[in-house]
Amino acid sequence: MPAYCGRSGTRHFCPPDGGRQGSQLADSLKLILGGRVSWYEFENSSNTSYKQTREVTPYAALIWRINDTWSAYGSYTDIFQPQSSSYTAAGNPLEPAVGTNYEAGVKGEFYGGKLNTSLALFRIDQDNRAMTDPRFPTNCPASPVGGGCSINGGKVRSEGLEAEVNGEVLPDLQLSAGYTFNAAKYLKDRTATGAPSDNEGNRLMGDHNPRHLLWTWATYKLPGEWDRFTVGGGFTLQSKLSYVDPYGSAGTVTRNQHGYSVWNAYASYRIDEHWTAALNINNIFDKRYYTDALRSQYAEPQSVMLTVRGNF
């Protein structure tokens, strides 16, 4: 079975291989302990510097092999995220955001490892996050990069579930699909007056935190005389994104990126044992949408790419 790792948002992360050590507690029960030691140093052209040395990020997981198909697990890890690109009113880079991540789930392995499934529940608490300094929301007197000042004061929580399936579901049919539900919210967020903002206690309305995310990709190698051809396609479907700016020129401003789907297609032809030609069409319907709710930048439009690869 694959390693069971921590998570940041909806992304998994593992300590380096050398940082994990497993112990077989019983025939079907295994304990994994590990950690990561980080050295982080930041310096800009204004000679403002920040250093974090010997930051230890522990990791622990308990795995129970139920039978030859199913395993259950639980894991814990700390979170360490540098924020030195934001500055305080004194001109100092912010301290890192810290937190904890808990995860529990089951994983299944079918057809001799050709098909893998997983279902995970997670909770992430992150403290010391960068938030706008209520005293200097737009003009930071000591910041070397301009903009508003920041303080280490925000706190958020993300919890939800993630389901995935990967592998050969039928002969010559490969499928990769997943769904994530992320009920993230602000535990602490303040306005310029120091009062709770419209965010505090409500859903986390950030750049990349859709409540629902569904994606899939499948390829099928055609049978018989057509076995030189492989066709495929998939889509990404996500719910809306929102960003609340309490310091807009007209007061609190909410920016929305409505939910959308993006579809892609693929086809390849095996010319001979060495050469293969492939055609990728991304964003088939030329869907126009923003990359996130904070920056009004359009995502990549429809694109077509033809590739020829040789293998010798």
pLDDT > 90? residue 67 = yes
Place of tokens 């389901």: 163
Please say whether the beta carbons of 142 and 89 come within 8 A: yes
Q: What separation, in Å, do the N-terminal and C-terminal C-alpha atoms of the chain show?
A: 32
Q: What pLDDT is attached to residue 165?
A: 97
Q: pTM of the full predicted structure?
A: 0.76
Q: Average pLDDT in the 301-306 region? A: 96
pLDDT of 1 reads 38
The mean pLDDT value of the chain amounts to: 83
Contact indicator for 123, 187 with CB cutoff of 8 Å: no
CA distances from 78 to 36, 103, 256 (A): 10, 12, 32
Task: Write down the residue that tokens 């009004």 correspond to.
Answer: 296
Q: What residue ranges do the domains of the chain occupy?
A: 6-310
Residue type, 3: A
Which one, of 67, 79, 137, lies nearest residue 107 by Cα?
A: 67
Q: Identify whether the C-beta of residue 22 lies closer than 8 Å to the C-beta of residue 32.
A: yes
The DSSP letter of residue 95 is P
Distance of CA 91 to CAs 44, 193, 271, Å?
12, 21, 61
In this structure, are residues 209 and 183 in contact, taking their beta carbons and an 8 Å threshold?
no
- CA pair distance 120, 71, nearest whole angstrom: 12
* C-alpha torsion angle, residues 150, 151, 155, 161 (rounded to 10): 40
Which runs of E-coded beta strand occur in 66-195? 70-81, 97-110, 115-132, 150-170, 173-182, 185-188
Q: What is the CATH number of domain 6-310?
A: 2.40.170.20
Separation between Cα atoms, residue 52 and residue 65, nearest integer Å? 39
Per-residue pLDDT reduced to its tens digit, 144-171: 777 888 888 788 899 999 999 999 999 9
Rounded to an integer, the average pLDDT of 163-181 is 96
The yes-or-no verdict on residue 16 having pLDDT over 70 is no
Decide if 217 contacts 232 (C-beta within 8 A): yes
Tokens of 99: 């937190």
Q: CA 292, CA 193: separation in Å to the nearest integer?
A: 27
CA 304 – CA 99 distance, rounded (Å): 42
Rg of the chain (C-alpha set): 23
Residues of the chain by 3-state class (helix, strand, coil), percent to 5: 5, 60, 35
What pLDDT, in 10s, does the model give residues 232-243? 999 999 998 776
Query: Who wins on pLDDT, 110 or 22?
Result: 110
Nearest-5° Cα angle at 290, 213 to 184: 40
Mapping DSSP to helix (H, G, I), strand (E, B) and coil, where does residue 49 land? strand
Lowest model confidence (mean pLDDT) among 24-28, 173-177, 215-219, 260-264: 24-28
Q: Inform me whether the pLDDT recorded for 27 exceeds 90.
A: no
| Token output for 36 | 């990561």
Label residue 89 left, alpha or beta by phi (over 0 means left) and psi (-120 to 50 means alpha). Answer: alpha
d(CA 182, CA 110): 28
Who's near 159: CB < 8 A, 6+ residues apart? 121, 122, 123, 124, 182, 183, 184
On the question of pLDDT at 24 being above 80, the answer is no
For residues 295 and 198, the model is more confident at 198
Taking the C-alpha atoms of residue 223 and residue 100, their distance in angstroms, rounded to an integer, is 49
